[in-house]
Amino acid sequence: MTENGDATPLVRVENVNKNFGALHVLKDINLTVSRGEVVVVIGPSGGGKSTLCRAINRLEAIDSGTITFDGQPLPAEGKALARLRSEVGMVFQSFNLFAHKTILENVTLGPIRVRGIPREQAEKRGMELLERVGIDSQAGKYPAQLSGGQQQRTAIARALAMDPKMILFDEPTSALDPEMVQEVLDVMIGLARDGMTMVVVTHEMGFARRAANRVVFMSEGQIVEENTPDEFFTTPRTDRAKDFLSKIL
Ligand code: ADP
Ligand code: MG
């Protein structure tokens, strides 16, 4: 049982299959994510990691199996789907900020438009979140005026502004210059420490070792191996995992 006393997993993925035409991209995937848990998903390109993330917040429909979030099957449409999307934050490799809105506006837009929060209140909270990710001094600037690391921290603040129950990170540092990777990982490590439920697709071993409760290794549409970060990185069990690790470590 977790701190808030609710033992239901936040996410439960059961026997999920997904095809893109003739391509079987998710093959009988089973995965649960508990409240407060940090799950790192790792594996070769094309293995289905992004598709799995997208399926969890219903950006992608599945062909068979079930996904439940907070005890309920994922809604397919309407208000329930909008609520799901606001409860499951997503941070992408490519930031996806609104170029013609300021940093603060990027963070307050969702709360104002989707949640109906008064502007003043949204801005106060927005500034607190920008402070939390260390870019409150940049609030009035536009995304193009910021470094990649600062833009990605803005994207994290924007996700947090919706008070999500979990955040999915899909290779959040892959598009960053090397010197900016750590500042984003530090923010994520802080979130993990504060108890945020997170699914993180990343090849950043340092992050996995410091923040992950569990590593899930995905290859060719299957979950091949699931273990603690220590066990996974020191004694991978399968040849596929060993082979992958030998290429990235
Ligand atoms: P990963 O994130 O692990 O690199 P993806 O989930 O992005 O893997 O992709 C898994 C496979 O599905 C790849 O072969 C990819 O080309 C294919 N794929 C992903 N999205 C689509 C799509 N919208 N249409 C067709 N094929 C897709
Ligand atoms: Mg991907």
Measured in Å, residue 5 CA sits from the centre of ligand 1 at 37
The ligand that comes nearest to the alpha carbon of residue 45 is 1
Q: Which ligand is nearest to the CA of 93?
A: 2
> Which ligand is nearest to the Cα of residue 48, counting in written order?
1
Residue type, 197: T
Distance CA 204, CA 201 (A): 9
pLDDT of 2: 46
Distances (CA, A) of 231 to 37, 56, 172, 212: 17, 26, 24, 12
pLDDT in tens, 2-44: 455 578 899 999 999 999 999 999 999 999 999 999 999 999 9
Backbone angles phi, psi at 7, to 5 degrees: -85, -10
Mean pLDDT (the chain) is 95
Q: How far is the CA of 49 from the centre of ligand 2 (A)?
A: 5
DSSP character for 176? S
Residue nearest atom 13 in ligand 1 by C-alpha distance:
46
Cα 45 to ligand 1 centre (Å)? 9
How are beta strands 72-73 and 64-69 bridged, if at all?
antiparallel
Residue 13 parent element (H or E): strand 11-20
20 alpha carbon – ligand 1 mean position (Å):
8
Is the sign of the CA dihedral 151, 152, 153, 154 positive or negative? positive
Q: Residues 35-79: pLDDT tens digits?
A: 999 999 999 999 999 999 999 999 999 999 999 999 999 998 898
Average pLDDT over residues 109-118: 94
- How confident is the model over 192-222, as pLDDT tens digits? 999 999 999 999 999 999 999 999 999 999 9
Sign of torsion over alpha carbons 59, 169, 37, 236: positive
